[in-house]
């Protein structure tokens, strides 16, 4: 898959998608890095992620209407010039375009769906908000989502909303981003202000990778997945079980406490009071897991097994253990959640979740909404099944040496 950047007046949203939007052309390129993962499935055109008018299918709440004339007056231009500036017309001076966009942002301008239909109907574009597009989990969600949208002849527009500053900037500019018919939020929670900004678009909003606000969503039951992992360790005879908890400072998980509550509940059900000393919180990454495991090894009485919130953290823990001269699972058992491709290669015991299928089902929800099959006002979250995958990193405590 060849990736080329598209000029976008919006602020850059990170190093992976530097312009805020990326066009996928579908041509193979060995230099396309992470995005090569889409070479067999991704042929969608991903166009500029700036401003335009979508077809309003599922309005989320009524908002006060600011007109194009208001924007034009504030910017000191005609309504026709304001329209061309907001529509990325090539024959508009950059200074004028910037002034009009500033005026639109200041007024929280949102073009009416009726005007959009008169201007040419639906855009055929779906905005996808993703914190970390370079990470495996988000890449899998995008791949499943894109396949479903492509089959419906819809284009995908990626917006990276990773760090707090990027996120604040994106949502501050959001009311003017009208070149989409729907929005998909990938695996991060939104606060009240962000929810209101999304509502101001007046388009369908769907979540993938977990429940987000009251939007139609597809994910897994994090508590149940965590119980599968911890119950497995308990059944092997472990009672001093540590937890490598994924940090959630940026609200990257819609349900950050589901897996942690599973650890506590499973231990209590087994008659073992959870020891908070055995909880090490770190970023959702291999390095984070490695650092958290080192902290647990520094305890006077380390755990005999650890439950990691994700496979990448679990693999980082295995690295720390081996560098410390400990054997896995003879000296300490490790289990994660995801079934990351590296889990099979490294013989990691894990709880598998169907990540790509979550993206695909979210795509189906989007297509249904755009075709007029609107979901209920407060739809239930669709939970896909998880299952335990037994491999070589778990064993009873004090296994044969």
Pair (186, 272) in one structural domain? no
Q: Do 186 and 131 touch, CB atoms closer than 8 A? A: yes
Pair (133, 202) in one structural domain? yes
Pair (289, 142) in one structural domain? no
Pair (42, 168) in one structural domain? yes
Give the count of domains, the chain.
2
Mean pLDDT of 100-117: 72
Band (pLDDT 50/70/90 cuts) for residue 172 is confident
How confident is the model at residue 105, as a pLDDT? Answer: 85
Query: Cβ atoms within 10 A of the Cβ of 378, count?
Result: 9
Residue 99 has pLDDT above 60, yes or no: yes
Residue 28 has pLDDT above 90, yes or no: no
* Spatial separation of the C-alpha atoms in residues 138 and 225, rounded to whole Å: 18
Closest CA to 24 of 13, 15, 36: 36
Q: Do 47 and 157 touch, CB atoms closer than 8 A? A: yes
224: exposed, middle or buried (Cβ count in 10 Å: 0-12, 13-18, 19+): middle
| Residue 386 in domain | no
Domain ends where: 218, 238, 255?
Answer: 218
Pair (117, 140) in one structural domain? yes
Residue 219 has pLDDT above 80, yes or no: yes
* CATH number (domain holding residue 187): 3.40.50.2300
Domain boundaries, position 139: 3-65+110-218
Mean pLDDT of 226-245: 98
Pair (50, 157) in one structural domain? yes
Domain ends where: 177, 201, 218?
Answer: 218
Q: Which pair of tokens denotes residue 272?
A: 């073992």
Identify the residue whose tokens are 């940026």. Answer: 250
Residue 4 has pLDDT above 60, yes or no: no
Q: Which pair of tokens denotes residue 142?
A: 């995008």
* Spatial separation of the C-alpha atoms in residues 272 and 191, rounded to whole Å: 36
How confident is the model at residue 1, as a pLDDT? Answer: 36
Pair (146, 232) in one structural domain? no
* Spatial separation of the C-alpha atoms in residues 376 and 252, rounded to whole Å: 26
């Amino acid at each position: 898959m060849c990736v080329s950047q598209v000029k976008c007046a919006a602020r850059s949203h990170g190093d992976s998608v530097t312009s805020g939007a990326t066009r996928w052309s579908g041509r193979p390129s060995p230099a396309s890095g992470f995005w090569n993962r889409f070479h067999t499935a991704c042929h969608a055109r991903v166009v500029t992620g700036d401003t335009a008018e979508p077809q309003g299918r599922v309005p989320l709440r009524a908002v006060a209407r600011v007109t194009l004339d208001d924007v034009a007056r504030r910017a000191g231009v005609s309504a026709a010039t304001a329209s061309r500036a907001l529509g990325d017309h090539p024959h508009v001076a950059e200074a004028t375009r910037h002034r009009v966009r500033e005026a639109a942002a200041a007024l929280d301008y949102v073009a009416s769906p009726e005007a959009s239909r008169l201007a040419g109907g639906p855009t055929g574009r779906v905005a996808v908000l993703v914190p970390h597009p370079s990470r495996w989990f988000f890449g899998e969600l995008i791949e499943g989502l894109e396949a479903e949208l492509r089959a419906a002849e819809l284009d995908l527009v990626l917006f990276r909303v990773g760090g707090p500053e990027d996120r604040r900037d994106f949502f501050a500019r959001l009311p003017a981003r009208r070149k989409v018919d729907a929005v998909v939020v990938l695996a991060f929670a939104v606060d009240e202000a962000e929810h209101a900004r999304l509502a101001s678009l007046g388009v369908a909003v769907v979540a993938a990778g977990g429940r987000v606000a009251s939007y139609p969503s597809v994910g897994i039951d994090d508590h149940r997945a965590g119980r599968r992992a911890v119950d497995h360790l308990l059944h092997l005879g472990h009672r001093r079980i540590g937890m490598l908890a994924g940090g959630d400072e940026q609200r990257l998980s819609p349900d950050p406490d589901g897996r942690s509550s599973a650890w506590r509940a499973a231990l209590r059900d087994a008659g073992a009071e959870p020891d908070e000393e055995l909880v090490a919180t770190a970023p959702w990454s291999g390095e984070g897991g490695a650092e958290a495991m080192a902290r647990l090894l520094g305890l006077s009485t380390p755990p005999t097994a650890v439950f990691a919130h994700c496979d990448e953290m679990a693999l980082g823990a295995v690295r720390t253990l081996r560098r410390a001269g400990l054997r896995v699972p003879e000296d300490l058992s490790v289990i994660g959640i995801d079934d990351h491709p590296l889990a099979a290669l490294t013989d990691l015991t894990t709880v598998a979740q169907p990540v790509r299928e979550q993206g695909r089902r979210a795509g189906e929800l989007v297509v249904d909404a755009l075709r007029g099959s609107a979901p209920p006002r407060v739809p239930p979250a669709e939970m896909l099944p998880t299952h335990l995958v037994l491999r070589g990193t778990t064993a009873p405590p004090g296994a044969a040496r």
